[in-house]
Amino acid sequence: MLIMCKSLNSLNKRIIKCKKCKRLVEFRESVAQKKTKRFLDENYWGKPVIGFGDRKAKIIIVGLAPAAHGGNRTGRVFTGDKSADFLFRCLYKAKLSNQPYSIHLNDGLILNDVYMTPALKCVPPEDKPKAEELKKCFTYLDEEISYLENAKIILALGKIAFESCLKLFMLKTSSYKFIHGAEYPLNKKLRIFSCYHPSPRNVNTGRINEKQMIEVLNAVSKF
């Protein structure tokens, strides 16, 4: 386990220094400089955002990418934005976190049997990554998953995260339908569950509500 922790730590150090995608490096840094009105007095992280949580976890939650004023500001995935507010209310109710909020690095958050990470480690303009950017960043996700030795389930939040994971395991995306709550094998060890992303757009339009999200979280935790 010590070797695994050291390896994941050294991977994370490499990720934080990464400048492989010129467009994304420029964007993450410009967002961090310009900021937004309500966070003008904060120091933004403005670098790649690494995974977070229980390294012995059974469940890996994969999101698309850090949010401009969420993870890109706070330095932690699903932290300090509306998606995090919704997701953590649900994770707490499903007993997968110790508190119903994720607001900043020192807020005392502990995940239970869950590790979470973005498929793409840098915020993309308009939340739309290019195929080549995803491909470059997949090498990190691939290595990261290999260090999470107890993982049995990947819970993919949103269609892009779902398809990114399928590609990582060399599976044809056309053979797997993105349906909320659907479950498929990835290999002998890992299964994937698909789930709507907890974005304000999906929550406000009623595509996903707390009950539906908690149902999926309960299904993966009981797996």
Residues lying near ligand SF4 in the complex (CB under 6 A) are found at 15, 18-21, 24-25, 48, 120-122, 133, 136-137
Nearest approach in angstroms of CB 121 to ligand SF4 is: 4
- Phi then psi for residue 193, to 5 deg, are -110, 140
Torsion-angle region of 88 (φ positive above 0: left; ψ -120 to 50: alpha; else: beta): alpha
Nearest approach in angstroms of CB 80 to ligand SF4 is: 19
Nearest approach in angstroms of CB 89 to ligand SF4 is: 29
Nearest CB to ligand SF4, comparing residues 109 and 119 = 119
Vertex 166 angle, CA 164 and 169, to 5°: 110
Nearest approach in angstroms of CB 13 to ligand SF4 is: 12
Nearest CB to ligand SF4, comparing residues 24 and 160 = 24
Nearest CB to ligand SF4, comparing residues 83 and 117 = 117
Residues 23, 29, 34, 38, CA torsion sign: positive
Nearest CB to ligand SF4, comparing residues 19 and 189 = 19
Nearest CB to ligand SF4, comparing residues 24 and 67 = 24
- Identify the helix (H) or strand (E) that includes residue 157: strand 153-157
Q: What share of the chain is helix, strand, coil (3-state, %, to 5)?
A: 45, 10, 45
Strand order in the sheet with 59-63: 52-53, 114-118, 59-63, 153-157, 191-195, 183-185
Nearest approach in angstroms of CB 18 to ligand SF4 is: 3
